[in-house]
Amino acid sequence: MSVIGQRQSFYDQIAANRRKSILLVLIVIALMAGVGFVIGFFMIGSVGGGYAGIGIAVIIAALISLVTYYSGDSMILAASRAREVKPQDAPQLMNVITELSLAAGIPPPKVYIIDDTAPNAFATGRDPQHASVAITTGLLQKLDREELQGVMAHELAHVRNLDIRFTLLVGALVGSIALLADFFLRFTFWGGTGRSRGRDSGGGGGAAILFVVALVLAVLAPFFARMVQLAVSRQREFLADASSVELTRNPYGLERALAKIAADREVLEVANRATQHLYIVNPIKKFESRAAGLMSTHPPLLERVNRLRSLSGSTPLDALSTDALARLG
């Protein structure tokens, strides 16, 4: 593939994934507005009450978003037991991050180490000026420099593309929907809507149908919001993979790194359901008991590798070839 064709390819990927991410966020906002309208309508008994409910939902989401925006990264790092490192503690890592930050046109982020032999990494923060990357000791031990560059370029792409902010705010919106839906279900359980349902909805069967629809929305909205959040996470991973190639001009290091991380059998103990979507590869392995019932936070590894290979015009891999790729380097 020519250089021009390669540049068009990854820029096309970046543009497509951004469009998909924006659409998914609009769906989350629509779900939040729907839940807010349902609560307001059935508490007050009028369409005006529904609009008031939307306003209350927006206020609640804004408050949760503010807390998440300013404190979310510190809570994530604390939950991950990450400790900040100095340049002399990991010179090769700091050198890689410095050169990639220059390529990305962003300030070097704070660097944290997680003392765990499972190889993995994530980025967090609210903008490039307040960003952090966390790397496990296993990642530093098991990857060569080219692979480390691929992983760090991926994480810095999350910073440059504002995925770190995007992830925090989408999580706040999804949390707001769950909070509002739970409030409505508890309110109806205690008979809170009995006084208002028949006033403006026509009463009788029509009111009953609307009430059932409202209950179904309140039950399903958090689930669908979570599905959208996972879809957003997967799209941003594709975007960061493509951006990593843009920064390094080399898809091979990231290809091998992804395969090595995914094939590693070490368990990352500090990872949990709240933080798993942040990591470059899902840190919760399929064979772990805590993986039961988990929904995918990351795109399939083979699809990610083959998208990277398409940028260089390489032949797509099958599952067996991906296992072999993990043993390279």
Q: Following DSSP, what letter does each residue of 190-223 receive, concatenated? A: TTTTTTTHHHHS-SHHHHHHHHHHHHHHHHHHHH
Domain range summary for the chain, segments of one domain joined by +: 3-326
Q: Length of the chain in residues, anyone?
A: 329
Report pLDDT digits (tens) over 136-170.
999 999 999 999 999 999 999 999 988 888 888 88
Which positions ≥6 away from 277 have C-beta within 8 Å?
167, 229, 230, 233, 297, 298
**Cα–Cα distance, 270 to 80 (Å, whole number):** 5
Do 297 and 122 meet the contact criterion of CB atoms below 8 Å apart?
no
pLDDT of residue 195: 46
- Residue with token string 């090769």: 92
Q: Which two tokens stand for residue 203?
A: 């009463």
85 neighbors 112 (Cβ within 8 angstroms): yes
Residue 155 annotated to the active site: yes
Residues 183-203, mean pLDDT to the nearest whole number: 60
Q: Find the range with the poorest average confidence among 7-16, 182-191, 207-216, 310-319.
A: 7-16
Most confident of 9-13, 175-179, 237-241: 237-241
Instruction: Kindly name the residue from 147, 155, 237, 255 that is annotated as catalytic.
Output: 155
Model confidence over 23-75: pLDDT tens digits? Answer: 777 888 888 888 888 888 877 777 888 899 899 888 888 888 888 888 889 99
Give the range among 15-24, 103-112, 278-287 with minimum mean pLDDT: 15-24
Strands 131-136 and 110-114: what pairing?
Answer: parallel
Strand, coil or helix: what is 185?
Answer: helix
State how far the alpha carbon of 323 is from the alpha carbons of 93, 141, 268, in Å. 26, 20, 21
**How far is it, in rounded angstroms, from Cα 54 to Cα 180?**
11
Q: At what angle do helices 163-189 and 47-79 cross, to 10 degrees?
A: 130
- Dihedral sign, Cα of residue 148, residue 151, residue 153, residue 156: negative
How far apart are alpha carbons 304 and 18 in whole angstroms? 16
Report the alpha-carbon angle 273-185-23, nearest 5. 55
